[in-house]
Amino acid sequence: MADNEEYEILDLSAFRRQDRNWPRNIFQDISRQSVLHQVLIGGGTGWVSGYLFLKVGKIAAVSLGLTLLLIKIAQHQGYIKIDWPKVQQEINQTRKRLERDAMRQYPNVMNNIREFVRKNVFLAGSFAGGFLLGVVF
C-alpha cells in the first residue's frame, strides 16, 4: 500500500438505531414521486419479492416434507415414539398464545396496511402485479 492513498470517511450518524420509522420515511418519499416512478418501483420490488418467495417457498416445502418423512420412517421403525394427542394439544396452546400476543402487540396492523394501500394505490397495485409476475416466472 502506498502512503499517499486517500480514504473516504462515511458519516453514518444519519442512521441511528433510534430511528425506527425508516420504512415509513422511504415510502413517503416514494409516494411523492410521479406515478411512473411509483409503478416502476412497485412492479420491480414486487417481481423480486414474488420470485424470491417462490424459490424460498419451494426450499421450505421440500425441507419440511423431508423432515416429516424422516420422522414417520423413524417412528415406523421404532426409533422414536410420538404422542400425537399431546403434540396436537401443544400446537393448539401455542396457536392460541401466538394469536393473543399478536393481537396485543400488533393491534392495528390491518388498519395500517389498508391506510397505506389507500394512500399509495399505484405503488401497492404495481407491487401486487409484480409479485404475481415474479411468482409466475
In a structure prediction context, what are the per-residue pLDDT tens digits for the chain, which is 137 residues long?
556 777 777 666 665 555 566 666 666 677 777 888 888 888 888 999 999 999 899 999 999 999 999 998 998 898 888 888 998 999 999 999 988 888 887 777 777 888 888 888 888 888 888 988 888 87
Asked if residue 6 is part of any domain, the answer here is no
pLDDT in the model for residue 64: 93
Residues 6+ apart with CB under 8 A from 134: 46, 47, 48, 49, 50, 51, 52, 53, 54
Asked if residue 57 is part of any domain, the answer here is yes
- How far apart, in Å, are the Cα atoms of 112 and each of 38, 98, 103, 107, 126? 19, 20, 14, 10, 19
pLDDT in the model for residue 136: 84
Residue 100: domain span: 34-136
CB 123 within 8 A of CB 40: no
pLDDT in the model for residue 15: 59
CB atoms within 10 A of CB 37: 13
pLDDT in the model for residue 13: 63
- How far apart, in Å, are the Cα atoms of 118 and each of 19, 111, 132, 133? 25, 10, 20, 22
- How far apart, in Å, are the Cα atoms of 93 and each of 39, 58, 68, 90, 100? 43, 28, 21, 5, 11
What is the tally of structural domains in the chain? 1
C-alpha cell at 64: 419440511
Asked if residue 130 is part of any domain, the answer here is yes
Asked if residue 40 is part of any domain, the answer here is yes
Asked if residue 93 is part of any domain, the answer here is yes
Could you tell me the pTM of the whole model? 0.55
Asked if residue 26 is part of any domain, the answer here is no
Asked if residue 27 is part of any domain, the answer here is no
